[in-house]
Structure 1
Amino acid sequence: MEGPTSRGSNVDLFLPNYKLGKTLGIGSFGKVKIAEHALTRHKVAIKILNRRKIKNMEMEEKVRREIKILRLFMHPHIIRLYEVIETPSDIYVVMEYVKSGELFDYIVEKGRLQEDEARCFFQQIISGVEYCHRNMVVHRDLKPENLLLDSKCNVKIADFGLSNIMRDGHFLKTSCGSPNYAAPEVISGRLYAGPEVDVWSCGVILYALLCGTLPFDDENIPNLFKKIKGGIYTLPSHLSAGARDLIPRMLVVDPMKRMTIPEIRQHPWFQAHLPRYLAVPPPDTMQQAKKIDEEILQEVIKMGYDRNQLVDSLCNRLQNEATVAYYLLLDNRFRISNGYLGAEFQEPMECSFPRPHPSEAAASAIVQHIPGYMDHQGMDLRTQFPVERKWALGLQSRAHPREIMTEVLKALQELNVCWKKIGHYSMKCRWSPGGHHENVFDIPLQANHILGDESAIIENDGAGIRSNVIKFEVQLYKTREEKYLLDLQRVNGTQLLFLDLCAAFLAQLRVL
């Protein structure tokens, strides 16, 4: 039998790159500790799973499945797994540290949420679930207890132990998950494809967010199952018309008639206030492996790692000290920023046209004449044959993104626009007619600031933006056709003045 001292020294021996801290929680076959990664100084959570306990509880398959799936995934709203260290007695699973606990506790503490806050959570959940399905994984145990919140109250889908891999032409039958959140076909033991059971669970979660209670609840399990199989629940009168329309479409007993994730995405209630980084399709895992952030790469190389080996490891999704450092730096850099510009043209994201909310469409659209054939990307229109399109939403180019941004910044400079770089491919900007920017930015625009490594134009975010000042954001996206899409989004200022700016910007780029 190992004593505490021996046990502690073993942990230090197996985890030389981490400084372990306090225990965050204790489970049936292990514990979770907070730790600090020695090289990057970022916090992580380390699950210490005892092999003997796992075997005794016949949980080996559950643990193995969760590790396999999380190793594959990279999504802002799915818990990240950085590395797995196996020893004869334990398995150490190094994961993203999520500070604020479960969404379940959040709902219990606050009661029913305001619609805007509930919608924000729901949009993030749907984005993460869509990513799972795109990678042929069905979660099967979606519930507020398995949705964690980070320090900024962003959702992180966790606990993939009951998830499974979907295969074309194959159906699943296992009855699993929590009864209150399980779809009728699951508790009935019928065959199911997979995505539809996650949609049902998301419908129950949305109901819980908006109502503070569960749609199907009964202490008597047979009665609970009867309610679920019959789709018997009530909608409170305080729900908005949009929510009252969306929830029943998700909680349809017949899985063939139940709403799909793409249909949820198109629903007006879901589309309201949709952040730009969630308006695009979820990132493709294989493409993510091929796209490498040069800035982060250089930081890791400075730590003493070989460039070629690091690039090869990243492309082949290999786990080692260098790749762990790379992903910790990458994730924490994007975690610092938030909102629309938080997406920051992450090249791994496979993006199409972002869909502005109808009320914002006139304010954010820039139109460009493009000859030839066009797809209705993001426009919810489908054609059976090529049709000539004269207009497309947004500015498109096949040039290298750095060349595009150089031209954009030159155009902004000519218009006396002041900006602050948020990333290589995203900026916050301010402009007023005539180029008057007193008390708006601290330092004037200099030509040598174009695409410099530092955010040379420092924004004064203080109060006092005058009515003739436009505040807007610029973001570069990658489309499926290997083109790049430039989007301008109004933040403050009159809509007409913003359209004047757009026209001037297009003229400066010689698009008009």
Structure 2
Amino acid sequence: MCGTKGELTSGPSPVPTLSYENLVAQYTILRTIGQGGCAQVKLAHHRLTGAAVAVKVLLKGTHQAFPIKSEVKIMKRVNHPNIISLLQVIETEQNIFLILELADGRELWDWIQQVGYLQEGMARKIFKQIVQAMCYCHAQGIVHRDLKPDNIMVDARGKVKIIDFGLGALVRPGMKLSRFCGALRFGAPEFFLRQPYDGTKVDSWGLGVLLYFMVTGTLPFEGITFEELGSKVLLGQYDVPSHLSQDLQDVIRSLLTVNPKKRPTLKDILRYPWLRKGDVGSSIHCDKMSPSHLDPAIMAAMADMGFDPRDIRESLLHRLFNEPMATYGLLQCQARQQGGFTRQTKAVRPGITPFPTPTDPATFPGCRKRTADAAALRALLSLCSKTESAKDRQQVGQRIRRSVTMPITALRCLQKRVPTHAVVRDPTETQHSGTTDTVKGTCRGWKRWARRIGTCILRTFCCLPCKKKRVVPQKEE
């Protein structure tokens, strides 16, 4: 993270070291959907539930500019409906894999580029969610330091998810930071002065720039060079469009206060009249996976899959971010979207996984066989026609790609081939769900079997005479 060398009071909690095969045994890696300076983000499917997830691949090593385990510790600490959720952590010698909720919707930057700018009502609804989430983070001793429209996801209903805490930091009250990071055009004056700064006040400035961009479609400070941009930021001079209400201008002006000591906190900003207008939701965060209120239907479904109920409770109670915790969280998310989780009383066959395993289970002695709940599979099959539409593929290409439940259908499983060991050795390489040759080979195999079955039936019942071989007369020499 971008902070002073001693800004973290203690090291991150230990994460159990697992093999890379453990990742591909639990998740089908599909493609790369995001690329940053220090990490890749891949689209993947959870094999047991069929839910789509994002896998952030962090490369370990002493050459990294920021200690990546700080991001792991931050993600383990946050639990807010407007912040992307961490489901599981898998660590190897070279990488740390963060299994994350796949946020619905698209980036705020893409949305504003399309519509030009947001009307004040919609901007208020979105901005208040962001401020509430960041107030929660500041209360937890977490600063983001990279609040920009690229890191704000918004769905069709206007619900916000803040993503990418890769430049975040853990701070104590009154603590000053000295590392400078983030997008320059969203940078606070303290960055250009190279002064130690209060991380919470830097977030406040970044949100001021973000709000201005939301309601105007432009940035308040522009400059071709670092010096030109810095001089405008330090002067605090920007144009205020006449169509903005006075209450909105008051919020922007307060957040873009050059002197950080006079810049209000986000808690103060929530009291401004502009943000108090209308009903834009509650600021109370929710504990999504409380071990004291476990869903009995989900627990029963996971027991059918092979999980020990004691392991599930232990994982949720201590927030271990392991396989049981991730599976429970994904099933719970599916239940919320489907209006409740119903479990079929008929038992499923043990030892049958709904999606193919990487290799023979004997190769992975540490991986238990799992079975999916029948009700969950029924829900997946009902969405078969909605999966992988042309619109979905276009959205993925435009980074409008995040959906909490994008299940794999049983039909498509025939085409998905799990990479062999020779392919999955490199965790940063994009894995594909299948090739044209594989699909054609499968079709030819089915045709051969169909012909053989037909021939056997004809010969058994003798319904038709056997086809006689044609005799061709030999030519005389």
TM-score scaled by length of structure 2: 0.62
Backbone CA RMSD of aligned residues: 2.6
CA distance 1:186–1:94, shift in 2 (3 Å): same
CA distance in 2, matches of 1:251, 1:26: 30
Tell me if the contact between 2:291 and 2:313 (Cα under 8 Å) persists in the aligned partners. no
Q: Say which one has the larger Rg.
A: 2
CA distance in 2, matches of 1:250, 1:268: 14
CA distance in 2, matches of 1:73, 1:325: 19
What are the equivalent positions in structure 2 for 1:192-231 lying under 5 Å apart? 192-231=197-236
What are the equivalent positions in structure 2 for 1:34-433 lying under 5 Å apart? 34-51=43-60, 55-56=62-63, 58-59=64-65, 61=67, 63-150=68-155, 152-278=157-283, 280=284, 282=285, 291-295=292-296, 296-334=298-336
1:304 deviates by 3.1
1:135 deviates by 0.9
The C-alpha deviation readout for 1:140-184, integer Å capped at 9, x for no partner, is 111111222346553221221221111134222222222211111
Counting strand residues as a fraction of each chain, which structure ranks higher? Answer: 1
Letter in 2 for 1:218: G
CA distance in 1, matches of 2:292, 2:273: 33
1:194 deviates by 2.1
CA distance in 2, matches of 1:336, 1:198: 36
1:90 deviates by 3.5
Letter in 2 for 1:15: V
CA distance 1:32–1:239, shift in 2 (3 Å): same
Tell me if the contact between 1:77 and 1:128 (Cα under 8 Å) persists in the aligned partners. yes
Residue number in structure 2 paired with 1:32: 41
The C-alpha deviation readout for 1:243-285, integer Å capped at 9, x for no partner, is 112111111112222122122212221122233333x3x45x7
User: Are 1:16 and 2:25 matched, yes or no?
Assistant: yes
CA distance in 1, matches of 2:71, 2:175: 21
The C-alpha deviation readout for 1:412-436, integer Å capped at 9, x for no partner, is xxxxxxxxxxxxxxxxxxxxxxxxx
CA distance in 2, matches of 1:336, 1:259: 42
What SS does structure 1 have at the residue aligned with 2:274?
Answer: helix
CA distance 1:101–1:59, shift in 2 (3 Å): farther
What are the equivalent positions in structure 2 for 1:474-489 lying under 5 Å apart? none
The C-alpha deviation readout for 1:87-120, integer Å capped at 9, x for no partner, is 3343322111135332112111211111111112
1:11 deviates by 6.3
1:22 deviates by 3.2
Residue number in structure 2 paired with 1:372: none
What SS does structure 2 have at the residue aligned with 1:253?
Answer: coil
The C-alpha deviation readout for 1:15-39, integer Å capped at 9, x for no partner, is 2122232332344555432222122
Tell me if the contact between 1:81 and 1:96 (Cα under 8 Å) persists in the aligned partners. yes
Number of corresponding residues: 320
Residue number in structure 1 paired with 2:406: none
TM-score scaled by length of structure 1: 0.58
CA distance 1:288–1:172, shift in 2 (3 Å): farther
What SS does structure 1 have at the residue aligned with 2:25?
Answer: coil
Any unmatched runs of 5+ in structure 2?
1-18, 340-477
Letter in 2 for 1:125: I
Tell me if the contact between 2:20 and 2:92 (Cα under 8 Å) persists in the aligned partners. no
CA distance 1:215–1:324, shift in 2 (3 Å): same
Of all paired residues, the percent bearing the same amino acid is: 36
CA distance 1:128–1:309, shift in 2 (3 Å): same
Tell me if the contact between 2:33 and 2:42 (Cα under 8 Å) persists in the aligned partners. yes
CA distance 1:311–1:255, shift in 2 (3 Å): same
Q: Which moved more, 1:165-174 or 1:155-164?
A: 165-174
Letter in 2 for 1:68: K
Higher relative contact order (CA 8 A, sep 6+): 2
CA distance 1:77–1:291, shift in 2 (3 Å): farther
1:229 deviates by 1.3
What SS does structure 2 have at the residue aligned with 1:141?
Answer: coil
The C-alpha deviation readout for 1:364-396, integer Å capped at 9, x for no partner, is xxxxxxxxxxxxxxxxxxxxxxxxxxxxxxxxx
Letter in 2 for 1:81: L
Letter in 1 for 2:233: I
Tell me if the contact between 1:65 and 1:160 (Cα under 8 Å) persists in the aligned partners. no
Letter in 2 for 1:71: K
1:209 deviates by 0.2
Letter in 1 for 2:96: I
CA distance in 2, matches of 1:290, 1:13: 25
Any unmatched runs of 5+ in structure 1?
1-9, 338-512
1:293 deviates by 3.5
Tell me if the contact between 1:289 and 1:317 (Cα under 8 Å) persists in the aligned partners. no
